[in-house]
Amino acid sequence: MPLTTLMILKQRIAVLSKLGEHLLGKDEYLEAVMHRTHYNNPWFTIENQQRAIKSIASSFLQKDKLKEWVNGYDLKEPNTPITIGLVMAGNIPLVGFHDLLCVFVSGHKSKIKLSDKDKFLLPYLLKLLAKFDTETEDYFEIVEVMKDFEAVIATGSNNAARYFESYFGKVPNIIRKNRNAVAVLDGTESQDELLALGKDVFRYFGLGCRNVSKLYLPEGYDFQLLLEKLHEYKEIILHHKYKNNFDYNMALLMMNNTMFWNNGCIILTENKSIASRIALVHYEYYSDKEALEKELYTRRDQIQCVVSKGSFKNQQTVPFGKAQEPQLDDYADGVDTLAFLTQT
């Protein structure tokens, strides 16, 4: 259905900033929604939901940040807003919020297919937006079946992406596949930097596309300090689903006589693959930085971001501990979502 009332950009930014202010305060109903979400999906602990919400509020929904962000684009109010289909992933809480934010800021309508793993948080945030400004109600529609749209942004596994490409290929689209973060160490990292790396590995149980799943290490790397610092996140093993994955990976590696390092909460094993299973991080040695730069560039379609204190040609890096703290202009897969929407 067409929008009955059009909001101008100033209004849209104003209501988003109100939402941000609200989310940084106390909301007992939101706490109840988080408990329901955790019951539905044990991976979404209360702590991780709170972390995701606070990150969205502080990084995405601050008025000054929103204004600075949109100033980098030639945003014109659409005379006839179109409907953008959003197929949400469910690997970490509210992972599709940035896409929804981009659509709303651009003045278009979102038709949203929620993941069964994360089906309570976003509807409540949309209710909050409507509470602050009833005109937002026409901009969002949650559906069970995706149809009647002019463009689509879909995120899923590599297998799901093949289905998306077939189903959505006839309209303008952004289709995202599996990606992961990698970290490059040179052996001179401080204890604080290695401790911060643990955030990139363990946050959200490593389920996010920005979580580090692969380490590139200099030949002859001494694992002792790294394992020691990562062990400071040992409480993660108390989560039963994570521990089940840890035990399974340990057993599998032992049965296959595969060499690995283990500190009781994470397993490191040498493997060229970038994607790794839960509770497992791959590593690979390098001896030449130039060759490593070529490797990273060659595999750029599998890499969401590179965590390192060094710099690399053709590759933007993220400081240790910041992989799961994206800003408004950190677009998934390096595809500028807002530019896509302004040109659609």
Do residues 236 and 261 touch, judged by C-beta distance below 8 A? no
CA angle 97, 103, 105 (to 5 degrees): 100
Instruction: State yes or no: pLDDT of 1 exceeds 60.
Output: no
Instruction: State yes or no: pLDDT of 214 exceeds 70.
Output: yes
Do residues 300 and 335 touch, judged by C-beta distance below 8 A? no
306-327 pLDDT tens trace: 999 989 988 889 999 999 999 9
The domain defined by 9-177 folds into Aldehyde Dehydrogenase; Chain A, domain 1 (3.40.605)
Assign 265 a pLDDT band (cuts: 50, 70, 90).
very high
Instruction: State yes or no: pLDDT of 4 exceeds 80.
Output: no
Tell me how far CA of residue 238 lies from CA of 12, 28, 231, 243, 290, in angstroms: 42, 27, 13, 7, 41
Burial (CB count <10 Å: 0-12, 13-18, 19+), residue 183: buried
Q: Count the neighbouring beta carbons within 10 Å of the beta carbon of residue 257.
A: 6
CATH number for domain 180-318, candidates 3.50.50.60, 3.40.309.10, 3.40.50.12780, 3.30.450.20: 3.40.309.10
All CATH 3.40.605.10 domain ranges in the chain, comma separated:
9-177
Please compute the mean of the pLDDT values over residues 172-191 and round it to a whole number.
Answer: 96
223: tokens are 């694992």
pLDDT value at position 276?
98
- Beta-strand relationship, 303-307 and 280-286: unpaired
- Residue 219: strand, helix, or coil: coil
pLDDT above 70 coverage of the chain, percent: 99
Instruction: State yes or no: pLDDT of 180 exceeds 70.
Output: yes
Say whether pTM exceeds 0.85. yes
Q: What is the mean pLDDT of the chain?
A: 96
Bridge partners (DSSP) of residue 101 are: none
Site of tokens 């790396």: 197
Instruction: State yes or no: pLDDT of 344 exceeds 90.
Output: no
Please compute the mean of the pLDDT values over residues 49-62 and round it to a whole number.
Answer: 98
- Residue of 156, 151, 175 lying closest to 165 (CA atoms): 175
Tell me how far CA of residue 12 lies from CA of 15, 18, 103, 139, 308, in angstroms: 5, 10, 11, 10, 36
13-29 pLDDT tens trace: 999 999 999 999 999 99
pLDDT above 90 coverage of the chain, percent: 91
68-106 pLDDT tens trace: 999 999 899 998 999 999 999 999 999 999 999 999 999
Instruction: State yes or no: pLDDT of 3 exceeds 70.
Output: no
Do residues 75 and 49 touch, judged by C-beta distance below 8 A? no
Q: Cβ contacts of residue 61 below 8 Å, gap of 6+?
A: 16, 17, 19, 20, 21, 23
All CATH 3.40.309.10 domain ranges in the chain, comma separated:
180-318
Q: Cβ contacts of residue 311 below 8 Å, gap of 6+?
A: 317
